[in-house]
Structure 1
Amino acid sequence: MGSLGQQKPHVVVFPYPVQGHMNPLMEFAKRLVCRNLHVTFITTERVRERMIKAQSGATVHVTSALQDIRIETISDGLSPDCEQTKDVDMVFDLFRKVGGLTLEQVIERLNSQGDTVSCIVYDSLLEWVPDIASKFNIPSAFFWTQSCAVYSIYYHFYTGMVKAKDEAGNVRDVIEIPGLPQLCQSDLPSFLQPSNTNGPLFRLVMNQFSTISQATWILGNSFDELEMAEIQSMDSLIPIRTVGPLLPSAFLDGNDPQDQEVGTNLWKAGNCIDWLNTKEASTVVYVSFGSLAVLSKEQIIEIALGLKASRHSFLWVIRPDDNKEENNNVDEFLEGFLEETVYQGLVVSWCPQMAVLSHPSVGMFVTHCGWNSTLESLSSGLPVLTITQWSDQPTNSMYIEEVWKTGIRLNKLGDGLVGRDEVEKSIKRVMESDEGLELRKNALQWKILAKKAMVKGGSSDKNIDCFIHEVIARTTLA
């Protein structure tokens, strides 16, 4: 592999630079480092600045694996005043052009320094990376950050093997895809539903597959036991190898008890663990809607009033940017609400989610059902209530209720809101009834299987080892 003769293969890991995509790929990077590979993690200059700001003054457990990962930055081509732009086509076009150019410069510099790149693991949203990898004769690994069910759904729609409408142009009531349960239109990812009006994001998710044939490996953040039929159904089409759930080691396989944080936070975490320590076991309702979903003022109010009426203790994450734009006048309501519930709940701007979900005082999780949060709830053995927003969340929510049987989908009113009565009633169903005990029992079974997949000899552990051995073999031959 070059005249300088590297001792370790060098893997570049490149996520799309948002929290939900960075987290699993950073965890994957840690797994590679712990197996004696050299890893460079690529992000953008602006995201790196946010990571540093979020860590400033915070207590962060920096493990040896995290220390051993080199972080390199590239440009996304955006000026600072474009932070909130909604022009998806413009953002991705700039990233493709400017980000691609600066990525090439990073690879050239690493190679010239003797750190010859052996493999690029790239986020599926960055479909332009394989072309750059080919320029340098570097094999690439396509990394899927959502469920294998959603992988199958998108692929079947991308290839035209499955269509939302029949030959007469009528919307199909039922969608049938091999290896998946029957799906209603409302179970599909939002970008595939007839009601979708977001053309740019539809094109984006479809475009993920445009260069997948160039990838040497296809990896996914799931585990075989969770989605066996879905994974096997893709074997004859375009197989995916599961390497998850990709979570900090302390909460899963336990190989590194100090590994309690991902290390890619874009918000400063509030101190909520001390508060949780004052609560009795399984008494707290944890509420968080991830890193991208922005709830309307009306939805925030309905959730707040439902939480209050349930009379259960709650920990609620409301990001600083949740109060921007349409929600900019929700502060006054929240101020009064917090005064009224000062002995019942705590609201923070961000938190170490796995530490919270694993805390003995937490009894359930109210979630938007993003894939990271879904895996985290399963790996923590917690029952959930789902309030979905967009993207893959409707599909994840359906699986949680109907396939894995660990939670309840909350019903929306005619205006699309989940009402306060539904929130209150559903919390009590989970926290106070035999139904809730059954959901918890099912969730605990998935927790056992998630851990089993990642410990030595588990399905995902073996897949990671297999990937590494293949990278080493290619490096040796180069």
Structure 2
Amino acid sequence: MGSLGERKRIQLPHVVVFPCPGQGHMNPLMEFAKRRAYRNLHVTFIATERVRERMIQAQEGAAIHVTSALQNIRIETISDGLSPDCEETNDVDMRMDLMKKVGGLTFQRVIERLNSQGHTNKVSCIVYDSLLNWVPHIANKFNITSAFFWTQSCAVYAIYYHFYTGMVKAKDETENVRDVIEIPGLPQLCQSDTPSFLQSSNPCESLLRLVMDQFSTIFQATWILGNSFNELEMTEIQSINSLIPIVTVGPLVPSAFLDGNNPQDQDVGIHLWKTENCIDWLNTKEASTVAYVSFGSVAVLSKEQIIEIALGLKASRYSFLWVIRPDQNKEGKNNVHDFLNGFLEDTIDQGLVVSWCSQAAVLNHPSVGMFVTHCGWNSTLESLSSGLPVVTISQWSDQTTNSKYIEEVWKTGIRLNKTAYGLVGKDEIEKSVKTVMESEDGVELRKNALKWKTLAKEAMMKGGSSDKNIEWFIREVIGRTAAA
């Protein structure tokens, strides 16, 4: 491909990036958008009105580098069919149906407006979240190419696709639940290793339909992109590529903490909660002495589980930084507010609890020595990219599969399983933290984590596997734009 200077002399394409409106989906797609903008492409990022309002509220007092990281990205808003001030709803079917009907209509109006603003703003490609399976229809209506973007691991991509096509079934011919599931390119899986929506105990039929429907229009997309890298999931990628090829362009974490191509990119730049400054507190701690604890943007832990984690952290005697979202710490019946107040008083010299933080900056701070995580895919990639060993307490969705890979395939962490009472106990928390921080097993986990950090960095550096794939994608879009 020609140099950047040569590319500037031709009309560069305009890429629209359209995530599902959730923190875990927006993060990788925003990083993808920033990397396109850094390569001097025109990029528009789509956010719902509700998301934009929450972003504005959360940005109060945000660091300057967050704003500058997004300065080359245009943000357009659409409606998701819900008023900005209405209460959140757990009715997935209703929300996704409104997103398709109302969001789809307002998204088309954005495309029409961008196309009417002149040749430089005409949309060349739509990169869309795989959950928005109706976007290819809109792209085809405007004769625009589209890219299906997978936000989870390639292993989970393969699992879902094999279940979607019926190549693998959850039950045998006698309707007995399968204990062992075999999928080409993947390690042998117990049913409990598969995503929770595929397990016999799954209570979320609407979410199972949602994840399966991702594949219903996949062949209408021009390309399939994934947030992973070849070295991490080589056999999985090779196996699934014989059926439904995916091009890996990750890990999509802030550049400053990975390849260093864009030193200003130190934060995703979009947050649905106000980030708190915990760096000053971390600066007071010695190297590799802090356990960072976070369960992401969706998981809601029970009061009982939070208490067990708190007591385990206290007993470990290691410093801890714990993210507990505002919706997990409200005053009222069955909340943890009162308990946490007392707990923080007892551990004032040991720990810090914040409502939200810039996770990439925390994971790469020298005082942080480990990560206690729900094992969502973004957090998994961020832990691997920062070279940190982990303790996994998976909750749902793909986290069960990611946890298996962390412990048994990549060997960078310890997987904790719930007891018959549905909890991970305080003794297990204490033991696992001490194992990672001070045992020979912990030394080996850290060694493996640092190996993956090096490979992740190499994948995204110039000439690396993901860098080549990104350049290939840009070349493909430019070629089709020129031919249009």
Bin of the TM-score, shorter chain as denominator length: over 0.9
Please list every run of 5 or more consecutive structure 1 residues that lacks an aligned counterpart in the other structure.
none
DSSP-derived class of the 2:126 partner: strand
Among 6, 10, 27, which residue is 2:14 paired with?
A: 10
Among 378, 398, 402, which residue is 2:404 paired with?
A: 398
Q: Give the deviation of 1:322 after TM superposition.
A: 1.2
Instruction: Name the CA shift for 1:326/1:409 in 2 (closer, same or farther; >3 Å).
Output: farther
Q: Which amino acid aligns with 1:253?
A: D
Would you say the 8 A contact 1:33–1:65 is kept in 2? no
Whole-angstrom distance in 2 between the partners of 1:154 and 1:431: 36
Q: Aligned pair 1:185/2:191, yes or no?
A: yes
Instruction: Name the CA shift for 1:191/1:268 in 2 (closer, same or farther; >3 Å).
Output: same
Match of 2:104 in 1: 100
DSSP-derived class of the 2:95 partner: helix
Match of 1:54 in 2: 58
Instruction: Name the CA shift for 1:25/1:150 in 2 (closer, same or farther; >3 Å).
Output: same
Matches within 5 A, 1:410-429: 410-429=416-435
Match of 1:113 in 2: 117
Q: Give the deviation of 1:58 after TM superposition.
A: 2.1
DSSP-derived class of the 2:270 partner: coil
Q: Give the deviation of 1:414 after TM superposition.
A: 1.0
Match of 1:408 in 2: 414
Q: Give the deviation of 1:43 after TM superposition.
A: 0.8
Would you say the 8 A contact 1:63–1:258 is kept in 2? no
Q: Which amino acid aligns with 1:394?
A: T
Instruction: Name the CA shift for 1:408/1:222 in 2 (closer, same or farther; >3 Å).
Output: same
Whole-angstrom distance in 1 between the partners of 2:45 and 2:399: 27
Instruction: Name the CA shift for 1:85/1:169 in 2 (closer, same or farther; >3 Å).
Output: same
Q: Give the deviation of 1:6 after TM superposition.
A: 8.5
Whole-angstrom distance in 2 between the partners of 1:50 and 1:430: 37
Q: Give the deviation of 1:197 after TM superposition.
A: 1.6
Would you say the 8 A contact 2:296–2:374 is kept in 1? yes
Q: Give the deviation of 1:57 after TM superposition.
A: 1.8
Matches within 5 A, 1:67-466: 67-80=71-84, 82-114=86-118, 115-324=121-330, 328-466=334-472
Whole-angstrom distance in 1 between the partners of 2:59 and 2:336: 27
Would you say the 8 A contact 2:68–2:264 is kept in 1? no
Match of 2:3 in 1: none
Would you say the 8 A contact 1:251–1:358 is kept in 2? yes
Q: Give the deviation of 1:8 after TM superposition.
A: 2.0
Would you say the 8 A contact 1:398–1:409 is kept in 2? yes
Q: Give the deviation of 1:53 after TM superposition.
A: 1.0
| Partner deviation per Cα, 1:416-436 (whole Å, 9 max, x = no partner) | 100111101111111110000
Q: Which amino acid aligns with 2:313?
A: L
Instruction: Name the CA shift for 1:177/1:325 in 2 (closer, same or farther; >3 Å).
Output: farther
Please list every run of 5 or more consecutive structure 2 residues that lacks an aligned counterpart in the other structure.
1-8
Q: Which amino acid aligns with 2:404?
A: M
Alignment root-mean-square deviation, CA: 1.3
Whole-angstrom distance in 2 between the partners of 1:321 and 1:169: 40
Match of 2:5 in 1: none
DSSP-derived class of the 1:61 partner: helix
Whole-angstrom distance in 1 between the partners of 2:342 and 2:331: 20
Q: Which amino acid aligns with 2:103?
A: G
Whole-angstrom distance in 1 between the partners of 2:291 and 2:69: 33
Whole-angstrom distance in 2 between the partners of 1:197 and 1:334: 30
Whole-angstrom distance in 1 between the partners of 2:80 and 2:335: 32
Q: Which amino acid aligns with 2:446?
A: R
Q: Give the deviation of 1:256 after TM superposition.
A: 1.6
Match of 1:19 in 2: 23
Q: Does 90-99 or 323-332 show the bigger shift?
A: 323-332
DSSP-derived class of the 1:262 partner: coil
Whole-angstrom distance in 2 between the partners of 1:290 and 1:38: 31
DSSP-derived class of the 1:67 partner: coil
Q: Which amino acid aligns with 1:399?
A: Y
Would you say the 8 A contact 2:328–2:335 is kept in 1? no
Would you say the 8 A contact 1:124–1:208 is kept in 2? yes
Whole-angstrom distance in 1 between the partners of 2:51 and 2:22: 8
| Partner deviation per Cα, 1:127-183 (whole Å, 9 max, x = no partner) | 010001011010100000000000000000000000010011011110000000000
Q: Percent identity?
A: 81
DSSP-derived class of the 1:372 partner: helix
Q: Which amino acid aligns with 2:97?
A: D
Q: Which amino acid aligns with 1:257?
A: P
Q: Give the deviation of 1:249 after TM superposition.
A: 0.8
Instruction: Name the CA shift for 1:146/1:325 in 2 (closer, same or farther; >3 Å).
Output: farther
Instruction: Name the CA shift for 1:366/1:327 in 2 (closer, same or farther; >3 Å).
Output: farther
Whole-angstrom distance in 2 between the partners of 1:80 and 1:459: 41
Would you say the 8 A contact 1:296–1:327 is kept in 2? no
Would you say the 8 A contact 2:294–2:324 is kept in 1? yes
Q: Which amino acid aligns with 1:152?
A: A
Whole-angstrom distance in 1 between the partners of 2:199 and 2:450: 33
Instruction: Name the CA shift for 1:98/1:106 in 2 (closer, same or farther; >3 Å).
Output: same
Instruction: Name the CA shift for 1:222/1:325 in 2 (closer, same or farther; >3 Å).
Output: farther
Match of 2:70 in 1: 66
Whole-angstrom distance in 1 between the partners of 2:24 and 2:450: 24
Q: Give the deviation of 1:223 after TM superposition.
A: 0.2
Whole-angstrom distance in 2 between the partners of 1:224 and 1:326: 48
Whole-angstrom distance in 1 between the partners of 2:333 and 2:321: 20
Match of 1:477 in 2: 483
How many equivalent residue pairs? 474
Q: Which amino acid aligns with 2:288?
A: S
Q: Which amino acid aligns with 2:37?
A: V
Whole-angstrom distance in 2 between the partners of 1:73 and 1:63: 18
Would you say the 8 A contact 1:248–1:259 is kept in 2? yes
Q: Does 206-215 or 407-416 show the bigger shift?
A: 407-416
Would you say the 8 A contact 1:61–1:260 is kept in 2? yes
Whole-angstrom distance in 1 between the partners of 2:213 and 2:333: 32
Q: Which amino acid aligns with 1:216?
A: T
Q: Which amino acid aligns with 1:111?
A: N
Q: Which amino acid aligns with 1:279?
A: K
